[in-house]
Amino acid sequence: KLNEVCENFKIPRFTKSDIDFIDEYVQVFTPLAQAITLLQRENSMFMAYLLPTVASLRKKMSALLTENLRYCRPVVESLIVAINERFAGMEEEKHLIISAVCHSKFKVVWIDNEVERKRAWDYLKNELMRTSTIEKASSGEQSGEDEEDCEHFFNFETSSSSASWEQEFVQYTELAPTRSLDCLKHMPLLKSVFLKFNKGPLNSAAVERVFSIGGTIATKLRSK
């Protein structure tokens, strides 16, 4: 088809080397284009996607170095360096890690290092415990002293109810990764954590740079 186009416009045909270069170029830049498109989509996009997308992109780029690239190997090497520089430090940001781990699609599957996986789970565990403490304190403040005294007198709660954050954590870790967020309906504390860390682009200069195109950050103009 390219040759037909060339003939129609009366321009020189593409050589085999030209075709091979185009094929390699597409092979190299397809993962990058997919990552950019994914992070800029309007629907069902959460901050949770950022670190897993970067991790997947880096892995795909590294895999390209094992291919028999004739023309674009320097491009791949430069892209890997650019990705590492662009996202330097982001993979250490606690709020970004929690946002990904509390999304049932990703959890910790995007993390290769076992030590870093444990750290990510610990971040989520601590946040669940913190959220549980805050919600209990808030619930206590809303009730009057007389009512609170009565509640303490008629307190039939078992020890299992006071450890609900632990139960949610264990239940969540045992679930297989899934695209559906329906599990949050049965885990109120995890849902609170998810909404806190995935309500939208965070006020971080580093994150803003990811979504920034021509000075426009996370707006519908990104798709125009």
The pLDDT of 41-51, averaged and rounded, is 87
The pLDDT confidence band at residue 152, using thresholds 50, 70 and 90, is: low
* pLDDT of the residue at 109: 96
The pLDDT of 131-146, averaged and rounded, is 73
Instruction: Report how many domains make up the chain.
Output: 1
DSSP character for 158? Answer: -
* pLDDT of the residue at 160: 43
Answer whether residue 144 shows pLDDT above 60: no
The pLDDT confidence band at residue 161, using thresholds 50, 70 and 90, is: very low
Domain span including residue 95: 2-223
The pLDDT of 141-161, averaged and rounded, is 55
CA–CA separation, 99 and 96 (whole Å): 5
Give the pLDDT confidence of 69-119 residue by residue, as tens digits.
999 999 999 999 999 988 888 889 999 999 999 999 999 999 999 999 999
By the 8 A CB rule, do 54 and 91 touch? yes
**Owner of token pair 């008629």:** 154
Closest alpha carbon to 222 in 79, 32, 45: 45
The pLDDT confidence band at residue 159, using thresholds 50, 70 and 90, is: very low
Which amino acid is it at 44? S
* pLDDT of the residue at 218: 41
- CA geometry: angle 209, 214, 220, nearest 5 deg: 85
The pLDDT of 128-150, averaged and rounded, is 73
Span of 45-49, 82-86, 105-109, 201-205 with lowest mean pLDDT = 201-205
More confident residue, 45 or 116: 116
Answer whether residue 219 shows pLDDT above 60: no
Query: Which H or E element spans position 212?
Result: strand 212-213
CA–CA separation, 189 and 177 (whole Å): 18
Report the chain's mean pLDDT, rounded to a whole number: 83
The pLDDT of 48-73, averaged and rounded, is 95
Structure tokens belonging to residue 177: 């990764």
Answer whether residue 201 shows pLDDT above 60: no
Structure tokens belonging to residue 114: 């076992």
